[in-house]
Chains A and B, each alone.
Chain A
Amino acid sequence: MSDDATFMLDGRPIRFEAGQSILQAALAAGAFIPNLCHHPEFKPHGSCKLCTVKVNGRASSACTTRARAGQEVASDTPELNRHRRTLLQMLFVEGNHFCPGCEKSGQCRLQALAYDLEMLNPHYEHFYPPRPIDASHPDVLIDFNRCILCALCVRASRDVDGKTVFALAGRGTAQHLVVDCPSGKLGDTDFAATDKAAEVCPVGAILPKRVGFAVPIGERPFDIEPISVQAAHAAHAEPRG
C-alpha cells in the first residue's frame, strides 16, 4: 500500500515531501489534525500538544515528528480526541475566556476546536486568574485573560519582525506572556499594528483597537463551517506544489 513518500493516517494514505512533519503533510493533503500553536510560517513549537497522534503506537506531537514512509498514524480516535478535549478544558479554565463578548468569537481557533471536538463543558473548576489588559498601545490591545501561551507572537516578533517584543516568563502554571521593556507596557515598545506579531494570535489576546463586531456574529469563518472542514477546503484550494 505505502510507497517511499507515503504514510497511513487513520487508514488513509498521505503523501509527503522530504522534511515535512506529519502535521504539515496531513494538512496539505486536506486531512485535519487538531492544532493550536502551529502556524505554517513558523518553526514548530510543540507546546499545545493538541496535535498529539500515535505513530506506530507511540504518542508524538504531529507538528514535531517528521513524516516517514510506512508510518501508521492514528489521530481521529476516541482516546486521542478525549485527551484533546481535556487539554482544551484545561486551557479554558486556566484563563478567562468569555466567548459571548469577545471580538474574536467565530474567528478563534480555541473556540473552533472546542466546537469541533465537541467540548460540552469546562469540566474543571475555573481558575479565574486576575489578569490585566494592556491598552497602552495606540493601535493594539493585549487582553492577557485570553492568552494560551502558544508563543506565536513571540516567534513572529522575533523571527519576522526582528523586534523580540514578547517572551514567555515563569514556569508551570505561573508561566505568562511578558512585554520586553522596562515598564512592561506595549505602548513603550516599538511594536506596530503592521507587525506580523499583531496578526498571528489564534485567540483574542492581541487585537486591533477600536474594531468591534464589524463582521456580524454568524458570518465569521468558523460560524460558517467547522475548523476541520475549512482545513480540508484550504488544502484543496491550494494544490501541493
Chain B
Amino acid sequence: MFRLETAENPQTLRRIAIEPLTRVEGHGKVTLLLDDADHVHQVRLHIVEFRGFEIFIEGRPFWEVPISVQRLCGICPVSHLLAATKAMDLIAGYDRLTPTAEKIRRLMHYGQMMQSHALHFFHLSSPDLLLGFDSEPTRRNIVGVAREFPEIAKQGVFLRKYGQEVIRHTAGKRIHGTGAVPGGVNKGISRAERDEMRRDIDRMIEWALSAVHLVAELHRAKPEFYDHFGEFSSAMMSLVDADGAMDFYHGGLRALDADGGTIFDGVDYSGYQQVLEEEVKPWSYMKFPHIRSLGPENGWYKVGPLARVQTCDRIPTPLAEMERRKLVARGEGKPVMGTLYYHWARLIELLHATEVIRDLLDDPDLLGSDLMADKGERRSEAVGVIEAPRGTLFHHYRVDENDQVTFCNLIVSTTNNNQAMNEAIRSVALSHLDGKTITEGLLNHIEVAIRAYDPCLSCATHALGKMPLEVDLIDAEGTLVQRARRNMGPER
C-alpha cells in the first residue's frame, strides 16, 4: 500500500475535491481526506474520463490509423502520428526507411518537442515560477508574464512558433498534418523551406540556452525550495540509442532505480510486455504501469524530461550536454528527484531539440527525393515507441489478413507517470497543506506539482488562468460545510 493512497477510516474524515483538474485527455480531479486538525490522510489523483481510442480503432484499416490516433491530442499529435506510423511501417512490410525519410521524420519530431516544451514552460508554468505560486491568481498567467517579463514572454512565443513552423514544413500543417506514412514520408523538404528554417535557428538556440539558465538560477537562488518541492524517490525509464545517448525518435528501453542502478537496458521495445505490466485501480480510469520484475508496489517509475536527462549517458549535442551535466551534478552522484527539476530538464531538452534541428537542416540528406522505402514482408503485429514530449509513448497493434486492426494498446506518456504524479501531490500535501487552512494559493501548490509533469491538455484551461476548480468541505456526517468554486460556470 502506498503512503497516503488509502486512509484507514475514510468515513471519519473530511473530503476535499479539486475537480476537474486538467490532464492529458482533459478531465481529472484530486481528492484529499483530512481529519479535524487538518492533517492529510489520503491524496489521490483520479482520472475520471474514458477515452476509448483503443476500442474504436478496432476494425479500421491500418493505413488510416496514424492519422486518426493523432487526434488523441492537440498538443503533441506528431508523437502519436509517429509512434503509430512506426508500428504501421512494420505492419505494411517496411523495415528500414530511406535516410531522407527518417531525417524528415526526426526533424518533425524535434520540432514537435521544441514547440511542446516551449508551450509548457512559457505559457503554462512560467506564471507559477516567475510570478509566484500564490501570487494574485488573476495575474498568474502568460499575460501577467508578458507584463512583468516582456522579453521572456516574447522569446517563449517565438520558440513555440518556430517549432510549429518546423512541423508545418514537414507535416503540411501545424496541427494534425500528415507527413509520416507507412514506409516513409509523403512530403519532401525544398531548398527554400530548408533555408527559411535555417535563417532563425541560431537565435532559437541562443534563446533556449537563456531559458535553461533562467530555471537553473531559480534552483541556485533557493535550493531548499526548488530542489525539494514534491520530492520522492522513484525509478526512471526512457528510450536511449545504441550508445546510451539521448534519442527521442528511436532506441532501446532503459530503466534505472532511484540510486541510478540499472534495472534493464537495451530492451527491444517490441517486447515491452516482458518488462512492463499494467495494473488497474477502481478509483481511476488511468492504468498504473509498473516494471514487471519489481511488482506493482515497487516497480512504478517516471518518464519524461527528468527521467530522460538522467537515464541517458549523454546528450549528443554540446550545449545541451553541458547543461545536463550541471543538473546531474546537483544530485552528487545520485539522481535528482525534486518535481520542479522537471522544468529544468525540459528546457535542456528544448535546447537539445534546437541543436538537433540545426544539425538536420545542415544535413544534405534532408533535401533528398527518395521518400519511400522498399517494401518487404507484411506483418500481423507491431509495436511503435517514441519519446514524446511528456515521456515514453507505446503504440501496439495487431492487424488481420483483411488489413483491419483487431487489437490496439496505447500506453501514453502520462499513464507512465500516473503513480509518480500521485506521489508528487502526496509529497506536496504533506509538506505544504498538512495542518493548514486551505487557500487558493495552497491548492495551486497541488496544481504546480501536477503541472510539472506537463499533462497534455493542461493548456486548455490553465493557460489563461481559467483552470476550473471546485473544492467541497464536507464534515464527518457528510454535510457540505463549504464549497469553493473557480471558473466552473454557473452552479447547477
Which A residues fall within an 8 A CB radius of B?
A: 98, 100-103, 133, 135-136, 141, 209-219
Contacts and interface: CB of A to CB of B under 8 A. Distances in A.
Contact of A212 (B59, B172, B181): B181
Nearest to B60: A133
Given A101-B64, A103-B64, A210-B63, A217 B177 contact: yes
B92 interface: yes
A100 B403 contact: no
Interface string B61-93: 101100110010000000000000000000010
A102 B59 CA distance: 14
B176 interface: yes
Contacts of B403: 135, 141, 209-210
Contacts of A133: 59-61, 404
B176 A135 contact: no
Interface string B184-205: 0011000000000000000000
B369 to A, nearest CB: 15
17 contacts: A100-B71, A100-B176, A101-B60, A103-B63, A133-B61, A133-B404, A135-B402, A141-B403, A209-B403, A212-B63, A213-B63, A213-B186, A214-B186, A215-B186, A216-B177, A216-B178, A216-B179
Contact of B186 (A98, A102, A135, A216): A216
Given A133-B404, A136-B402, A210-B403, A216 B63 contact: no
B252 interface: no
A216 B64 contact: no
Given A135-B404, A136-B402, A100 B173 contact: no
Given A101-B68, A213-B178, A217-B172, 8 more contacts: A98-B68, A101-B67, A101-B71, A103-B63, A133-B61, A212-B182, A217-B177, A217-B178
Classify the secondary structure of B's interface with A.
loop
A97 to B, nearest CB: 14
Nearest to A218: B172
A219 B187 CA distance: 10
B327 to A, nearest CB: 39
A223 B182 CA distance: 23
A214 B184 CA distance: 10
Contacts of B186: 213-216
A118 B181 CA distance: 31
A210 B378 CA distance: 12
Nearest to A210: B63
Contacts of B68: 98, 100-101
A100 B60 CA distance: 14
A209 B61 CA distance: 8
Residue among B64, B171, B177 having the largest count of chain A Cβ atoms under 10 Å: B64
A209 B60 CA distance: 12
Nearest to B92: A210
A100 B67 contact: yes
Residue among A101, A133, A141 having the largest count of chain B Cβ atoms under 10 Å: A101
A187 B108 CA distance: 39
Nearest to A102: B64
A47 B156 CA distance: 55
